[in-house]
Amino acid sequence: MVMGPQILTAIFLVTSKQPVKNSIAMLIGVVAAASVSLLIWYGLSAALGISPPSGSGPSTTDYVVAGLLALAALGYLLLGRRARDAMPRIRDWLTGNSWLVNLVVIVYFIFQLLK
């Protein structure tokens, strides 16, 4: 369920006017925020003696979606200029069909909740 915003963020970044620059800035921010957050939560859990439940972790669907996003990244990098030229058209399509994008994300969330 947490992957929904990341999927949309990836789509928005890759269809922006400066996708590489924006993606690098996003990655730097994510690494910094995640590092600080992990340090805080690790300290709190150690101080309070909290341990995670057994059996928790990513599902098969999470791995499939992450793999598809990685393939979409590898395709973007391999296609180079052709991919950069196509991104504004893809962004326009996504904007014009936002109802469909939202529907796909909602169905994904429902699927994740029903598992």
Residue 2: what pLDDT?
56
Q: What is the mean pLDDT of each run of 10 residues along the chain (115 residues)?
A: 69 85 90 93 86 74 86 87 87 88 85 76
Q: Is 106 left (phi over 0), alpha (psi -120 to 50) or beta?
A: alpha
Smallest CA-to-CA distance from 11 within 100, 73, 63 is with 73
Residue 4: what pLDDT?
65
CA-to-CA distance for 107 and 16, rounded, in angstroms?
26
Domain boundaries, the chain: 3-114
Residue 86: what pLDDT?
87
